[in-house]
Structure 1
């Protein structure tokens, strides 16, 4: 194999612009779509009550940010077993299992009496979310009839809608009691369970030819990371998640707003995230290119975090930066998810699990680190450090351009 061939992995194209019929989907796709919205409400639902938990349970900022750390750490590790489970019991049962686990642990979190109990329950919540999130992407891509790229857009739209509605609902429930959002998630997941079990077909793992169904092993995600392109995207996602979760988990502590105010700020953030993931990310991919667009969005996000770090005491500027960050993250999420699906010829579920493992490791470390940095130094430092990590994510992509440029090369060659 020549040096050029080894540095550019040739795989079937999965561009954002595949087929025109985004909204013409089977009922099963819409079932997973609406279940995703409900599941991702849980991520933003807790955001407006973080200061309230710290105040009412006499917890420090770093202790409360562990709600995100335990959630993401368990999710990262659990991502490695999602393929093993899905290949044995099918997508529908895996999704339902994830929903049940989320419902149980969110209800237990609401019934907790101390911050460390909630941290433990959030870890269990992360296990359920891992089973659901990784499988939902595979399910939507597999069941969609409008092409892989459109399916990714649909998945990211569900994430954006869930994250945008979550803080508003969380602010409303949290104003009554910090326990409200936890019980709210449990109720919503029961609704998702009923909807999914009644509409989605029992999709079994696909057979390869006439042979038996291939069962995924625990080592498959690690084998997948031998593909340089997948490893590069995974590492860059882990680094940029330092910035993402600094914004999500730490910003509520310095915005100086109550539950309703935080709910509206992160509603604006989520709306921009949803809109850009659907409407502007495809345009960027088409006219600028996937890799260049990712670097542009991440670079601008790093600048926003740096501005937040410098002007942390200026409330209106912080609010503006948080909301604008939603647009940058919405574009980047769709672009990088599409790139991962197009990076190698590895099975989608395995590629998703390997990438998500690295991605959520960054999300596990970042919240606690941000809280500790604010306690040790000052409120400015977490945003500055988050910006540095985001710029490092851009550097990883740029320095490994030869290993990821096939994401665009294959598109334009098609």
Structure 2
């Protein structure tokens, strides 16, 4: 593993891309504190408002299949700029919405821009960062954690004034990211070999990549159950919800950057995934019990702590997807993200419907079951994950390869 001078010693272009990535990931948690306000302002039910997540992640997932095809024809920089431009336009349009249907539609366009940017940003950071792929992925996950933690704060601050304001705020910040990348990132050469549209799906034929991707789908269902449904049961103001999810996001960021790498060195990648999925299942049960008994403090504590296993999973799943197969990283990333974001698309609506129709504890029980299924997939298909042994060897682990 290359030291490369440290994770913080990066070219200016990497920091510009990382800043834009922070803002892009802010869009995930931005709407959390204002979900009840949006429902009130647009006279919508929680399940209708949850479609803001569903449309966003469904389009993001499907668009992942074309990101490599696009970037291999116009280059990484132009793809990043196209994605940022789409986010600016659709985030601003979201702020003008007069109905839930309009808002859901604009979030879908936002998801398209997000897919073009996020998938390409990881490849650009990995290609330009010093310190090798591990440092680049940690930096990328740090941007994810910082964005997810800052999103609720920005959403609460602006949303307490007006629920439309966070959308305009995001459009402004993304415009700043557009300028930074346009001026600081050198034009990336167009790849010599163009990626075929079918490449991400073909890459999923690899047993290790498909195992990682489908485990991540179940994990993401649990992840986005916490993110999308919890604001409706907290019974707090936008500031209160924002504070809870800021604490959650800080746990995500710290676990991603400072928790995952030493744990990988100690027990190996697959074992970290088992540990994190098991801990997330326990905390989901904790939220379910607290929500069912009306213990709001329990809901708050378990929600914040759930950021720890989520941060661990985010880093290790991303690195595993990049390393487990012989597919080019952009192709592997596209196939992996196509599958895993389906969990993010399904969870908000399904979880909210379960909460509305059956009881507030049920979505979290379902999330815990999804974590258990993910662990079962990892165990039964462990022989496909043998290539991760080389990643563990890079981390200094010699006896943690899958059996």
Classify the TM-score, shorter chain: over 0.9
Residue 281 (structure 1) aligns with: 260
CA offset digits 1:280-325 (Å, max 9, x no partner): 1100010010000011001110111111112202111111111101
* Match for residue 28 of structure 1 among 5, 8, 13: 13
Aligned partner of 1:5 in structure 2 is none
> How far apart in 2 are the matches of 1:205 and 1:352?
18
Consecutive unaligned residues of structure 2, counting only runs of 5 or more, are 397-403
Secondary structure of the 1:176 match is coil
Show the counterpart of 2:324: 343
Q: 1:186 aligns with which of 162, 171, 174?
A: 171
2:238 counterpart of 1:253: no
Provide the secondary structure at the position in 1 that maps to 2:194.
Answer: coil
- 1:2-46, CA deviations, whole angstroms, 9 ceiling, x for partnerless residues? xxxxxxxxxxxxx7x865521111111111111111111111111
Q: How many residues align?
A: 393
Aligned residue number for residue 214 of structure 1:
193
Residues 327-354 of structure 1: CA distance to partner in whole angstroms, max 9, x if unpaired? 1111111111111111011111000000
Question: Aligned match of 2:312 in 331, 336, 342?
Answer: 331
Residues 76-113 of structure 1: per-residue CA shift (max 9 Å, x gap): 00000000000001111100110110111111111011
- Report the equivalent of 1:270: 249
Distance in 1, matches of 2:97 and 2:201, equals 36
Structure 1 residue 409, shift from structure 2 partner: 4.6
Residue from 346, 352, 363 that aligns with 1:371? 352
Give TM-score scaled by structure 1 length. Answer: 0.93
Query: In 2 relative to 1, CA 25–409 (structure 1 residues): closer, same or farther, beyond 3 Å?
Result: closer
Query: How does 1:124-273 map onto structure 2 within 5 Å?
Result: 124-206=109-191, 213-273=192-252
Aligned to 1:405: 386
Q: Hey, what's the Cα distance between the residues in 2 that align with 1:99 and 1:409?
A: 35
Q: How many angstroms apart in 1 are the aligned matches of 2:370 and 2:259?
A: 25
- Residues 174 and 259 in structure 1, CA contact (< 8 A), matched pair in contact too: yes
- The question of whether the paired residues in 1 share the 8 Å contact of 2:69 and 2:197 is answered with yes
Partner of 1:322: 303
- How far the C-alpha of 1:411 sits from its partner, in A, is 3.5
> Structure 1 segments of 4 or more deviating over 2 A?
17-20, 408-414
Q: What is the aligned partner in structure 2 of residue 210 from structure 1?
A: none
Asked if 2 retains the 8 angstrom alpha-carbon contact of 1:18 and 1:148, the reply is no
CA distance in 1, matches of 2:85, 2:139: 24
In 1, Cα distance between equivalents of 2:190 and 2:122:
15
**Local SS of the residue matching 2:333:** helix
Measure, in 1, the Cα distance between the counterparts of 2:51 and 2:4. Answer: 42
Please state whether the residue corresponding to 2:97 is helix, strand or coil: coil
Q: Deviations over 1:136-159 (max 9, x none)?
A: 100000111210011000000001
> Contact (CA 8 Å) 1:291, 1:408: kept in 2 or not?
no
Q: Does 1:41 align with 2:22?
A: no
Matches of 1:177 and 1:329 in 2, distance apart?
30
Once the 2 structures are TM-superposed, how far is the Cα of residue 410 of structure 1 from its aligned partner?
A: 5.3
Distance 1:410 1:182, change over 3 A: closer
* Cα distance in structure 2, aligned partners of 1:51 and 1:18: 46
Distance between the aligned counterparts of 1:321 and 1:21, measured in 2? 34
Query: Quick one: distance in 1 between partners of 2:179 and 2:60?
Result: 24
After TM superposition, the structure 1 = structure 2 runs for residues 294-309 of structure 1, keeping only pairs within 5 Å, are 294-309=273-288
